[in-house]
Structure 1
Amino acid sequence: MHQIKSPAGSGTSDDRSSEDSSSDRQQLQTVFRISLPGKKQKTFHARRAHKKSRGGCVTCKKRRVKCDEQKPLCQKCQNKGLVCSYTPELDLAHQKKISKALGVGDPTATFFSLSFEDVLNKVETALGFDSRPIPPKLISQSSGHPMSTIAFQHFMRCSLETVANPGIREVMGSDMNPHVMYTILAVGLLHLNRVSPNKERSYAEIYFWQRAIQLYQKELSTSVRADNVDALLSSCMMMGVMTICPENFKPTDSWVLTNKPERMNWLCLQSGLRIIITLAAPYIPNSIWASSFESIHKEELKIFEREYETGRDGLDSDLADLCGIDEYTTENNSVYHNPLRILTPLLKLEKNRPNAAHCATFMGRLECDFLALCRKREVPALVILAHWLGLMCTVAEWQPWIEGRIRGECIAICMFLETSTDPLVRRLLKFPAAACGYELSTSSG
């Protein structure tokens, strides 16, 4: 009987109710981890004299319900899918970030507020260049607010916080081209829907993704130019989350266990950014992304120093043996040499937020020939991929999106390979299995 262990840190305390425990475990499997405290059992106490709270959000006040005052978004608004706004008591750090992206005034000014009108105007301005109007159905029935407003506010206040690289986080969303805005709206609702599923928002998410992809493909078909490179790069980076964060993904849905190669397309699509960057190379020096890319490049030069171009020096001996790498092996005569050279330094990095962002780049560096071997379920290729998937599970604290698919794919590979009679394969499965929380069977063959 196989068991899947709970990820580290998912244990519950004794004073929580069984309902809370179930809620907490479910949160660990969501795409993005946002604090969503459940209702706790309260001991009855006689009512005492108290002052009424004046710090609740505007939405709760309008609905005449008691606000839990959780920031940046209160629990009650998130549960209802409503636009939550604290005016003018927004945390200053959030005000500055939001004001820069929205192009509104100084957050320290007397009249600054992230009102519904501010958000709506920004969205409408960006989408004004789209010839197709947003369907009337995309209005929240519970709040009466446009889904676009709800999505944009959630993206700016919460989704951006899940981007580990500060340079990318700073620039993301600053170019409000229509396909970029639709992508932002889709990501914002994907994030919110995975945290708090809602059929009404799911329809809106599908529509926003559809328009984002249609407009993105149309723009890309006209060639990469200086005037569209910023928007193309922005959309491309955000669109990756769509395939990495499917709804209700299970290990048994993986291409590895279903023998459906097309289900590995999510991994192949991650190389799209590398292709766009290659096409956009002449324009990147003058792009809004120039500074961020330069900073990332300098950091990665230190991580991926090509000290060894030939042979197996510096590689894990077991992985090198499995891949048939000897002292004469190069990337020209072995498909596995380059992926191992990239993976090895990543496995040695200290586990922290900046390094978690570097670890995520592995999937975008994979070449077609290696991906083809993964699709065919070649054992060495799957073991290498499992080690990266396991690595991402160890940095889930800073890359919460891995709960959408990455952990499940890692479990699937472990399930597929655990029957191997090769002691080397079983030994190499120990790290990814432990990282993703899968308990390997004690028997083989």
Structure 2
Amino acid sequence: MPSAESDTGRKRKAHTKSRRGCGNCKLRRVKCDEAQPECKKCQAYGVSCNYDGDGSNELQHSGEGAFKIERPVPADDTIVEFGPQKLPTPPHEVPPGMLGYPLTLHDTDEVYRITEKDMDIFRRFRERTVMTIGTAQTVYTYRDVIFKLGCGHSYLTHVMFAMVLMHDRYLSDDPWGPPSNAETFHHYHGTAIFNSMLSKPIAHEEKDAMWGAAALLGAITIASMDAKTPEESWPLSPSSPSDLDWLRMSDGKKEVWKLADPMREDSIWRTALQYDFEKDPTPQSHRRPELETLLPYLTRLYAFDETSNGDGDPYHTATSIIMRLLPIQCTHSTILYFLSFLGHMDPAYRRLLHQKDPKAILLLAWWHAKMLDYPAWWLQRRAILECKAICMYLQRNYMQQTDIGKLLDFPKMMCGLAVSSEYARHVDQARSQAVA
């Protein structure tokens, strides 16, 4: 095992290239000692050594031992210089130099040093959580680039840790239990440092990390929910100043978008976002015949005219987006189109939501219902609980309004509540036709 003294230098010595080194060392760009049957570098790194020269561009992992690096923290508390441009490993690895790396904490001169348990959190982020967030196109940015970016931006690493620990909780035997101390700790410091930076001029080298943190915090905000039943969920729960706070995150993300400009020429996000909004502007759609029976009621209730600009109509933008989303399946590739419902929310429409206006919250129920097509852990809890709560609230108070009563059938079906016999018949007919 390397000594603490040898760990603090971080300067790579000049050496001749190893022509007969193993495949993993070549991928990691480190000098192989060429020991047989397994080189010492692979043994120390927890991967299976391979000399077969099969040209694979992935590390050959050795089970659960992979990425659990055993390397001591520098005994003299030396701060290891390990900025985002100095990482010695390619993007498919957890950098071993992160063990003992100091993360800044909010409002204190103390630092938090990354532990071996944290290295395993890094691994779970790369191998599991990263596949559930963002879009199918941004996965590679999160997995390969933003992972390195977090090494030089403590708030981003705190936010990554908080997201993984939240994901762990949702996969546990008590998915709706309270957050762990570690999750709360990293969420607090990541958010506090991030917010303090927003009050200052943003340096160019911070922009990519800022947008990455904003995107992760957006998902965390949607996932953060204390309610365990529909009765504890808005709008059935007692009114509170914090009602619908999660919707405000879209305003914050829009401000960060302006500051970080993720579409600028040198942004790490540019390619992924260009794919979503420029190369493939029209997602593949599919018909849901059972929905078509409700469209006349939808257009009538909201007096919707797609040729109108909706001036003075607080429902127009929300209705227009819902109408465009109806034939689209919510998936990892199309999720950004569905999140546009939040990003383009009319302030007047949001005020109506806070007032529990029946037409306004009905549209939100339809949006939640469409989101239930996509089984993402950070979406499902809020979508199903609030969808049920809205349906129950409207059924108790506005069922006598014929159009609202009929339009409740779709969100009720999607969240598992009983629907009218007429709508159930339409659904059965549509499914039979689809099978035929």
Q: TM-score, normalised by structure 2?
A: 0.65
Change (3 A) 1:282 1:107: closer
SS of equivalent to 1:302: coil
1:270 aligns with 2:250: yes
Name 1:62's counterpart in structure 2: none
1:256 aligns with 2:208: no
In the alignment, the residues of structure 2 paired with residue 322 and residue 316 of structure 1 have an alpha-carbon distance, to the nearest angstrom, of 10
In the alignment, the residues of structure 1 paired with residue 295 and residue 252 of structure 2 have an alpha-carbon distance, to the nearest angstrom, of 29
Name 1:414's counterpart in structure 2: 391
In the alignment, the residues of structure 2 paired with residue 389 and residue 180 of structure 1 have an alpha-carbon distance, to the nearest angstrom, of 29
Name 1:114's counterpart in structure 2: 67
Name 1:88's counterpart in structure 2: 48
Name 1:209's counterpart in structure 2: 187
2:372 aligns with one of 373, 393, 414: 393
SS of equivalent to 2:392: helix
1:225–1:280 contact (8 Å) kept in structure 2? no
Structure 1 residues 292-322: Cα deviation after superposition (integer angstroms, max 9, x where no partner): 1211111563359xxxxxxxxxx94322222
SS of equivalent to 1:285: coil
1:193 aligns with 2:169: yes
In the alignment, the residues of structure 2 paired with residue 282 and residue 88 of structure 1 have an alpha-carbon distance, to the nearest angstrom, of 38
Name 2:417's counterpart in structure 1: 438
Name 2:273's counterpart in structure 1: 293
Change (3 A) 1:247 1:344: closer
1:123–1:152 contact (8 Å) kept in structure 2? no
SS of equivalent to 1:134: strand
Shift of 1:226: 1.9
Change (3 A) 1:126 1:147: same
| Number of aligned residues | 324
Structure 1 residues 37-83: Cα deviation after superposition (integer angstroms, max 9, x where no partner): xxxxxxxxxxxxxxxxxxxxxxxxxxxxxxxxxxxxxxxxxxxxxxx
**Structure 1 stretch displaced more, 329-338 or 431-440:** 329-338
Change (3 A) 1:327 1:127: closer
2:200 aligns with one of 210, 222, 225: 222
**Structure 1 stretch displaced more, 275-284 or 293-302:** 275-284
Name 2:407's counterpart in structure 1: 428
1:184 aligns with 2:144: no
In the alignment, the residues of structure 1 paired with residue 241 and residue 411 of structure 2 have an alpha-carbon distance, to the nearest angstrom, of 22
**Structure 1 stretch displaced more, 112-121 or 150-159:** 112-121
2:329–2:373 contact (8 Å) kept in structure 1? no
Q: What letter matches 1:264 in structure 2? A: L
Structure 2 unmatched runs, 5+: 1-44, 51-55, 71-93, 285-293, 422-436
In the alignment, the residues of structure 1 paired with residue 279 and residue 418 of structure 2 have an alpha-carbon distance, to the nearest angstrom, of 36
In the alignment, the residues of structure 2 paired with residue 282 and residue 352 of structure 1 have an alpha-carbon distance, to the nearest angstrom, of 23
After the TM superposition, which residues 117-156 of structure 1 pair with which residues of structure 2 at under 5 Å, given as runs? 117=70, 121-122=97-98, 124-125=100-101, 127=103, 131-134=109-112, 146-156=116-126
Q: What letter matches 1:416 in structure 2? A: Y
1:162 aligns with one of 132, 140, 143: 132
**Structure 1 stretch displaced more, 348-357 or 259-268:** 348-357
2:137–2:333 contact (8 Å) kept in structure 1? no
Shift of 1:352: 4.3
Q: What letter matches 1:160 in structure 2? A: V
Name 2:350's counterpart in structure 1: 371
Name 1:63's counterpart in structure 2: none
In the alignment, the residues of structure 1 paired with residue 99 and residue 389 of structure 2 have an alpha-carbon distance, to the nearest angstrom, of 40
Q: Which has the higher contact order (CA 8 A, sep 6+)?
A: 1
After the TM superposition, which residues 281-360 of structure 1 pair with which residues of structure 2 at under 5 Å, given as runs? 281=261, 284-298=264-278, 301-302=281-282, 316-326=295-305, 329-350=308-329, 352-360=331-339
In the alignment, the residues of structure 1 paired with residue 413 and residue 367 of structure 2 have an alpha-carbon distance, to the nearest angstrom, of 13
Structure 1 unmatched runs, 5+: 1-84, 91-95, 98-105, 139-144, 305-314
1:244–1:401 contact (8 Å) kept in structure 2? yes
2:369–2:387 contact (8 Å) kept in structure 1? yes
Change (3 A) 1:124 1:271: farther
Q: What letter matches 2:219 in structure 1? A: V
Q: What letter matches 1:162 in structure 2? A: T
Shift of 1:374: 1.0
Structure 1 residues 130-173: Cα deviation after superposition (integer angstroms, max 9, x where no partner): 843238xx9xxxxxx65433432222221111125122111123
- Aligned CA-pair RMSD: 3.5
1:335–1:370 contact (8 Å) kept in structure 2? yes
2:155–2:191 contact (8 Å) kept in structure 1? yes
Q: TM-score, normalised by structure 1?
A: 0.64
In the alignment, the residues of structure 1 paired with residue 47 and residue 225 of structure 2 have an alpha-carbon distance, to the nearest angstrom, of 34
In the alignment, the residues of structure 2 paired with residue 400 and residue 425 of structure 1 have an alpha-carbon distance, to the nearest angstrom, of 29
Shift of 1:212: 0.2
In the alignment, the residues of structure 2 paired with residue 430 and residue 123 of structure 1 have an alpha-carbon distance, to the nearest angstrom, of 53
Q: What letter matches 1:88 in structure 2? A: S
1:325–1:337 contact (8 Å) kept in structure 2? yes
In the alignment, the residues of structure 1 paired with residue 122 and residue 303 of structure 2 have an alpha-carbon distance, to the nearest angstrom, of 50
Identity within the alignment, %: 21
In the alignment, the residues of structure 2 paired with residue 302 and residue 193 of structure 1 have an alpha-carbon distance, to the nearest angstrom, of 36
Change (3 A) 1:166 1:122: farther
